[in-house]
Amino acid sequence: MLTTFIKKDRPGEDPIFALNQEASVRMKRGESILNATIGVLLDDDGKLAILPTAARIVSEVKEEEWAAYAPIAGNPDFLEAVKDDLLATHPAMRASAAAVATPGGTGAVRHVISTFLEPGQALLTTSFYWGPYAILADEHQRRVETFEMFAPNSDMSQIHLAALDRKLGDSMAAQGRAVIVINDPCHNPTGYSMSERDWRTAAEVIGRHAERGLVAVLLDAAYAAYAPQGVSTALSALEPLLGRALLLIAWSAAAAVGCRRSLACSTTRRCRLRSRANVRPSCVCSESASLSSTSSPERRACVTPVTTAVFS
């Protein structure tokens, strides 16, 4: 049986796309419009910029390959390549990782929200955050709670770890679990990249709360290619949490090379399940690519559909 929930106050069209449509219409009328609604790269003539290499690679894909059904979890070679790309310098995490392709990077975040939170529960993220997090949560009857992002008197140069500790404790007390979404490096919209100290202390905070129940940490690394350190700072700090918390990584190359592929990846060691259904952890997503993409993977976000599990 399929049950559908409809919120009467939800707009029928995403506000960003609605504004983009309005901008496009007004530009056709001759108005001078600066369209800053959708994050796409345009050339000097205002046309979609497509890398010639990407277009060539797409055209060279054999018809029987792009026309056939893709595996639900994604092409195995693709999944292994993405794990290697992200975790090659972290062998313990690489050995523990499960990867799954998702329908767009946003779909990866969506799976985490809908899988690890019950209706009415809230994810936790920074006070400055990418707006679609709230849209995704609302669509699945979940919510967004925030902690103050920057420490007082730090001139926006240090994460407010005491606020994270406090709000994470609130989430655990209210829900018995927590899903933390951290967009790093090159945070959207602030551009901030967490320091080694930020990550080390954040991991310590998360580890303490993970002793009380399930804590899932989603690293939304969509803009990692813009940072010299990539995700190495975050992974080095998070690696000691293997077996203590569920580590989820949403990785993207879309902003850097114009691709539209996504991946879901989780790193766990052993899992003792305490759930009504005695099932083993597994991941379910699918891969998608647009015609303006390269063959590089876009985003990794990982799902393990067990809502009451203890990882050790």
Nearest to 184 by CA among 215, 220, 158, 216: 220
Q: Does domain 59-311 have CATH number 3.40.640.10?
A: yes
Residue pair 268/217 in contact (Cβ under 8 Å)? The answer is: no
CA distance 167 to 220: 19
Residue pair 146/127 in contact (Cβ under 8 Å)? The answer is: yes
Residue range(s) in the chain whose domain bears CATH number 3.40.640.10: 59-311
Give residue 10's pLDDT.
62
> Is 134 a residue whose pLDDT tops 90?
yes
- Going by C-beta distance under 8 Å and a sequence separation of 6 or more, which residues neighbour residue 32? none
Give residue 46's pLDDT.
76
Give residue 306's pLDDT.
24
Percent of the chain, pLDDT > 70?
A: 76
pTM score, two decimals?
0.75
> Is 297 a residue whose pLDDT tops 60?
no
| Residue 129, token pair as written in the block | 């955050």
Digit-coded pLDDT (tens) for 215-227: 999 999 888 888 8
Range 177-200 average pLDDT: 95
137 or 257, higher pLDDT: 137
Which alpha helices (DSSP H) does the chain contain, by range?
A: 15-28, 52-60, 63-67, 76-87, 91-96, 105-116, 132-139, 161-175, 196-210, 232-238, 254-257
